[in-house]
């Protein structure tokens, strides 16, 4: 090399002569040095070896020069002919040339000539596409895993499993779950042609021995890829009911993957693609395997959950209070809002039970402190003791004493509060209530004019301490009166600011219910409580039990009361 | 509308207005005995009657106690109709509930009864069921869809929370009720898969080919990156106090309660307005509340002063100032 840099030299010359005049054929020849030296290389040579394809067009659009790289990219392009692919205008262009992806930049040269610099971006774009696809697969797996793990109901879970991969993995997906208990194979598949999700059951025995498809995967626990299927093979891989559907969409390839569930036999996922989709790539096969793994975890969780749920539900059903019976001379209504089962069973109970005395019936409400299965079980046992004692004709205080005696035998950590009472209705329609309150929030009663009064008790709670004596109190209720029993979950419920609802608010709200039917009364009280709490969570069971003594002629309409100016707080509509 | 049914409306209203359960039940039992279909009794008698009850309560003609009594008797009537109406075998199951914060459980019961007639098995959740409880029961229920009713727009954020938990487990949600605005304009903001004008349209949509079996999670709300509406609702107590302080002192204790309750609703409505990104809700509320105040001889300027106090405290909340100014213009 001479040490003369062509471009450095050119800059000096540009100041003397217009650049365009020095250009020939679209490229700039090096400036002839002052001292003539034999040229050792030409710019043409440089262009020939460039990886960037260069095509120079005349103003008319015919090719007047192209380098080797351009020849490779545009094999049908020759000097002296027109080439339609690179556009005559614009400054950049992206497109496909045969199987190559290219990106071009257009530069205007002298005399209306122009050049296209074309780069082959196939490899670059392929890497980009692979990254994007990888990201899509990750997102799909994350999304699928989240949705699968949020569902424990078996039927919805299988629906999800078969519909989730619809766009990402296959055109048709089936989940086959073998059951060793009844020897059946249950297959769920999402529709290929818009029909609803289908479920078919077949014998496991015949599937087990199949040379291909679900049965074989069940035996070998290894995936199967069928890159090209005919109808006969398709019929072996999918349930008979689905064959016509799949033929209609021209099913081409299938992938059968075992779903590991740590069971005697795995479940099996079958993915089918139609002719319009691409065949399964290696990455997609591993995506299907990953998906199957997540499905396996979800199926296993669901199975465990259902089993446990069935047990909890059995227990919970035994604890949920039944409908209240009709009793002579009174109207009773209750609201029970248990805290969700996931937190364990609550210990609240209430019931209305018969007594051997004619015209007298008994009621009980109670709360075993704590949560969980032992508490729930003890709560139902307590109720049973109170009920049995009432049917045997024991007075309220005696019933409570019997319950206390039973407590001494059980778990010493269990403590409960309760109210139990008898209600006898006289021929004149008024009622006499005898009740015992052991540490429970004392009842409120509202007279016919809507005045609310509280009762007071000093008896201890039921803790199984030998020698505890419970007292009894009597209350005469005139027709039109209402007695309200409630759990501490009502008055101790706290709103978002930590402020408790309190007895005062309950009394106030009870007064605002004067004249309502007793069902509407408890409903409204519950509603007032919930509105007051707002978004704050309810952390204890809420029980409201109201006993109303109606007027004698059993006329529930109470027209005078409705018109009566009760101390109703000024109400405001809930919204605009 | 059938004449047989609508003729009974006044008598039915009289019965429920007196909490005359026996009278109302007998009336409806007779109608059913004459061969009137249960869904017709519901749409032509029960729903118009409830609408009338609502109006009488709003105008102050009926007390709260009377309104509750009437709703209670109507509830009994709906159960009677539901029990007396034959149910075709059901192809799909749906969970029907109120938006969290809305207490119109009777609307759910009526919708459920009407859907059952159309062969959709409906399970009603009691009002007050929250998003958390829905999230716990939904994955284990056999429900294919959820229907959420909302009568008051202030419950829309609650509806949104419920839609989110349902769609997160892939269960599509249909919504309806006046709370979603005229023509269901806010149903999309809540993230529902569909909005139905009435029970008939709801049944058609649920049975239709376009109703999804499984849905994707609810789309995010782009205008709420930091849940501003929650921020406003959390400031309720100080905002109401500031608003009360800004207003002229009121002598009458009853009017003061109205004002205080009104300002609480104003803050909630403002929060929902921001949530919906639609100031119309708040402006309409302001117009209505100003009328109520006029009846109570409270000048409108007092409310404008309260709004200015709100605006001063909500300077950091984007959109709140503009909405308050818009409503202030009405005053």
For chain A, the domains span 6-120, 133-310, 324-563
Tell whether A159 lies on the interface with B, counting CB pairs under 8 A: yes
Distance, in angstroms, between A68 CA and closest chain B CA? 52
Q: Averaged over A116-134, what is the pLDDT? A: 89
Residues of A whose CB is below 8 A from B258: 570, 572
Best probe of the A interface among B58, B132, B140, by most A CBs < 10 A, is B140
Of the candidates A515, A559, A576, the beta carbon closest to that of B65 is on: A515
pLDDT tens digits along B281-328: 999 999 988 887 887 777 888 888 899 999 988 888 888 888 899 898
pLDDT tens digits along A485-527: 999 989 988 887 788 889 999 999 999 888 888 888 998 898 8
pLDDT of residue A231: 84
Percent of chain B with pLDDT over 70: 94
Of the candidates A194, A526, A574, the beta carbon closest to that of B154 is on: A574
User: What pLDDT band is residue A30 in, cutting at 50, 70 and 90?
Assistant: low
- Give the residue from chain B lying closest to A153, CA to CA: B140
Cβ contact A531–B103 (<8 Å): yes
Which residues, 6 or more positions from A183, have their beta carbon under 8 angstroms from its beta carbon?
A203, A204, A205
The CA R_g of chain B, rounded to the nearest whole Å, is: 22
Tell whether A422 lies on the interface with B, counting CB pairs under 8 A: no
Residues of A whose CB is below 8 A from B133: 340
Q: Averaged over A382-411, what is the pLDDT? A: 90
User: What pLDDT band is residue B60 in, cutting at 50, 70 and 90?
Assistant: confident
Residues of A whose CB is below 8 A from B284: 576
Of the candidates B68, B139, B258, the beta carbon closest to that of A156 is on: B139
Q: Residue A572: which of B111, B264, B232 has the closest Cα? A: B264
Token pair 């709370």 is found at: B179
Cβ contact A574–B152 (<8 Å): yes
**B253 vs A69, residue with greater confidence:** A69
Q: In whole angstroms, what is the distance from residue A130 CA to residue A137 CA?
A: 10
Range with the lowest mean pLDDT among A233-242, A518-527, B176-185, B222-231? Answer: B222-231
Percent of chain B with pLDDT over 90: 28
- What's the CATH class of domain A6-120? alpha beta
**A498 vs B173, residue with greater confidence:** B173
Residues of B whose CB is below 8 A from A520: 68-69, 71-72
Residues of B whose CB is below 8 A from A572: 258, 261-262, 265
pLDDT tens digits along A141-178: 988 888 888 777 788 888 888 888 877 788 888 999 88
- What's the CATH class of domain B1-85? mainly alpha
Q: Where in chain B is the domain with CATH 3.40.50.280?
A: 87-219
Percent of chain A with pLDDT over 70: 85
Cβ-based neighbour number of residue A336 at 10 Å = 18
pLDDT of residue A18: 52
Phi then psi for B29, rounded to 5 degrees? Answer: -60, -40
pLDDT of residue A473: 92
Question: Does domain A324-563 fall into CATH 3.60.40.10?
Answer: yes
pLDDT of residue A194: 57
Would you state the structure tokens that stand for residue A450, as one six-digit string? 């809507």
Q: Where in chain B is the domain with CATH 1.10.1240.10?
A: 1-85
Q: In whole angstroms, what is the distance from residue B40 CA to residue B50 CA?
A: 15
Cβ contact A151–B284 (<8 Å): no
Cβ-based neighbour number of residue A20 at 10 Å = 9
Cβ contact A576–B265 (<8 Å): yes
Residues of A whose CB is below 8 A from B161: none
Total length of chain B: 331
3.30.390.50, 3.40.50.80, 3.90.79.10, 3.40.50.280: which CATH number matches B87-219? 3.40.50.280
Q: Averaged over A79-85, what is the pLDDT? A: 78
Would you state the structure tokens that stand for residue B145, as one six-digit string? 């869809």
**B153 vs A314, residue with greater confidence:** B153
Tell whether A358 lies on the interface with B, counting CB pairs under 8 A: no
Residues of B whose CB is below 8 A from A496: 234
pLDDT of residue A10: 44
Cβ contact B152–A197 (<8 Å): no
pLDDT tens digits along A83-114: 777 777 778 888 887 778 888 898 888 888 88
User: What pLDDT band is residue A573 in, cutting at 50, 70 and 90?
Assistant: very low
Q: In whole angstroms, what is the distance from residue B183 CA to residue B176 CA?
A: 9
pLDDT of residue A36: 63
Domains A6-120 and A133-310 share a fold: yes
pLDDT of residue B96: 95
Looking at the predicted complex, does its ipTM rise above 0.85?
A: no
pLDDT tens digits along A39-78: 788 888 888 888 888 989 888 888 888 888 888 888 888 8
Strands A53-57 and B92-98: unpaired
Question: Does domain A133-310 fall into CATH 3.40.1190.10?
Answer: no
Cα angle A569, A484, B23; round to 5: 75
Cβ contacts below 8 Å, chain A against chain B, sum to: 135
Of the candidates B141, B214, B254, the beta carbon closest to that of A570 is on: B254
Burial label for B22, CB within 10 Å (0-12, 13-18, 19+), is middle
Q: In whole angstroms, what is the distance from residue A151 CA to residue A160 CA?
A: 9
Tell whether A152 lies on the interface with B, counting CB pairs under 8 A: yes
Tell whether A515 lies on the interface with B, counting CB pairs under 8 A: yes
Tell whether A571 lies on the interface with B, counting CB pairs under 8 A: yes
Q: Averaged over A390-410, what is the pLDDT? A: 90
Put simply, the chain B residues between 290 and 329 with a CB less than 8 A from any chain A CB are none
User: What pLDDT band is residue A568 in, cutting at 50, 70 and 90?
Assistant: very low
């Amino acid at each position: 090399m001479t040490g003369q840099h062509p471009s450095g030299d050119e800059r000096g010359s540009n100041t003397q002569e217009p650049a365009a005049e020095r250009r020939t054929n679209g490229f700039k020849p090096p400036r002839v040095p002052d001292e003539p030296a034999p040229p050792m290389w030409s710019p043409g040579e440089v262009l020939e070896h460039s990886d960037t394809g260069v095509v120079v067009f005349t103003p008319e659009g015919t090719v007047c020069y192209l380098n080797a790289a351009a020849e490779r990219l545009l094999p049908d392009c020759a000097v002296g002919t027109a080439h339609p692919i690179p556009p005559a205008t614009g400054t950049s262009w992206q497109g496909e040339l045969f199987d190559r992806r290219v990106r071009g930049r257009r530069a205007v040269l002298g005399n209306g000539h122009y050049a296209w610099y074309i780069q082959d971006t196939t490899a670059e774009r392929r890497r980009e596409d692979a990254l994007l696809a990888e990201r899509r697969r990750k997102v799909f797996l994350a999304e699928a895993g989240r949705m699968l793990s949020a569902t424990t109901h078996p039927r919805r879970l299988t629906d999800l499993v078969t519909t989730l991969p619809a766009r990402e993995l296959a055109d048709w997906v089936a989940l086959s779950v073998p059951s060793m208990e009844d020897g059946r194979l249950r297959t769920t598949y999402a529709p290929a042609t818009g029909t609803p999700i289908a479920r078919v059951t077949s014998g496991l025995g015949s599937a087990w021995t199949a040379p291909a498809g679900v049965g074989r995967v069940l035996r070998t626990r290894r995936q199967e890829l069928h890159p090209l299927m005919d109808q006969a093979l398709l019929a072996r891989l999918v349930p008979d009911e689905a064959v016509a559907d799949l033929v209609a969409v021209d099913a081409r390839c299938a992938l059968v993957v075992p779903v590991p569930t740590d069971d005697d036999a795995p479940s099996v996922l079958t993915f089918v693609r139609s002719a319009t989709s691409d065949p399964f790539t290696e990455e997609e096969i591993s995506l299907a395997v990953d998906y199957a793994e997540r499905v396996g975890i979800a199926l296993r969780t669901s199975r465990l959950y259902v089993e446990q749920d069935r047990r909890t539900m059995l227990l919970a059903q035994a604890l949920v209070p039944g409908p209240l019976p009709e009793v002579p001379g009174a109207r009773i209504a209750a609201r029970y809002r248990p805290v969700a089962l996931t937190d364990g069973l609550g210990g609240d109970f209430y019931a209305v039970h018969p007594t051997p005395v004619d015209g007298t019936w008994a009621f009980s409400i109670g709360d075993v402190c704590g949560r969980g299965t032992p508490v729930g079980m003890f709560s139902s046992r307590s109720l049973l003791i109170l009920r049995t004692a009432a049917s045997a004709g024991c007075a309220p205080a005696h019933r409570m004493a019997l319950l206390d005696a039973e407590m001494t035998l059980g778990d010493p950590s269990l403590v409960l509060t309760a109210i139990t009472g008898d209600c006898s209705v006289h021929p004149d329609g008024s009622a006499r209530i005898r009740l015992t309150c052991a540490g429970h929030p004392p009842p409120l009663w509202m007279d016919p004019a809507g005045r609310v009064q509280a009762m007071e008790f000093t008896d201890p709670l039921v803790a199984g301490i030998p020698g505890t004596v419970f007292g009894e109190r009597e209350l005469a209720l005139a027709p039109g009166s209402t007695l309200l029993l409630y759990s501490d979950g009502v008055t101790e419920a706290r709103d978002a600011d930590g402020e408790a609802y309190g007895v005062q608010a309950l009394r106030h709200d009870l007064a605002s219910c004067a004249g309502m039917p007793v069902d509407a009364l408890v409903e409204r009280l519950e509603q007032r409580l919930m509105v007051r709490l707002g978004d704050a969570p309810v952390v204890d069971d809420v029980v409201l039990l109201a006993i109303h003594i109606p007027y004698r002629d059993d006329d529930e309409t109470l027209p005078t009361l409705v018109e009566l100016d009760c101390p109703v707080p000024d109400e405001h509509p809930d919204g605009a | 509308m059938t004449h047989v049914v609508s003729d009974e409306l006044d008598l039915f209203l009289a019965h429920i207005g007196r909490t005359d359960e026996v009278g109302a039940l007998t009336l409806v039992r007779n109608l059913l005995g004459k061969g009137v279909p249960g869904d017709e009794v519901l749409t032509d008698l029960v729903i118009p009657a409830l609408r009338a009850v609502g109006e009488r309560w709003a105008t102050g003609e009926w007390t709260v106690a009377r309104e509750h009594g009437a709703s209670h008797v109507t509830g009994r009537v709906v159960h009677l109709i539901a029990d007396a109406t034959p149910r075709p075998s059901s192809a799909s199951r749906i969970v029907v509930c109120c938006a969290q914060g809305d207490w119109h459980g009777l609307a759910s019961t009526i919708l459920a009864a009407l859907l059952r007639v159309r062969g959709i098995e409906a399970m009603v959740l009691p009002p007050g069921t929250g998003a958390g409880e829905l999230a716990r029961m939904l994955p284990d229920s056999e429900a294919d869809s959820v229907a959420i009713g909302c009568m008051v727009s202030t419950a829309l954020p609650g509806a949104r929370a419920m839609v989110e938990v349902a769609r997160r487990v892939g269960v599509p949600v249909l919504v309806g009720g006046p709370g979603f605005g005229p023509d269901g304009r806010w149903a999309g903001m809540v993230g529902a898969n569909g909005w139905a004008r009435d029970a008939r349209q709801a049944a058609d949509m649920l049975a239709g080919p376009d109703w999804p079996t499984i849905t994707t999670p609810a789309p995010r709300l782009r205008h709420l990156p930091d849940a501003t509406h929650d921020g406003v609702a959390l400031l309720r107590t100080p905002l109401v106090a500031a608003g009360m302080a800004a207003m002229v002192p009121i002598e009458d204790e009853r009017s003061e309660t109205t004002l205080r309750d009104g300002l609480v609703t104003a803050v909630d409505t403002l929060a929902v307005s921001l949530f919906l990104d639609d100031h119309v809700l708040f402006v309409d509320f302001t117009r209505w509340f100003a009328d109520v105040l006029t009846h109570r001889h409270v000048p409108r300027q007092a409310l404008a002063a309260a709004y200015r106090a709100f605006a001063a405290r909500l300077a950091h909340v984007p959109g709140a100032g503009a909405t308050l100014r818009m409503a202030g213009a009405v005053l």
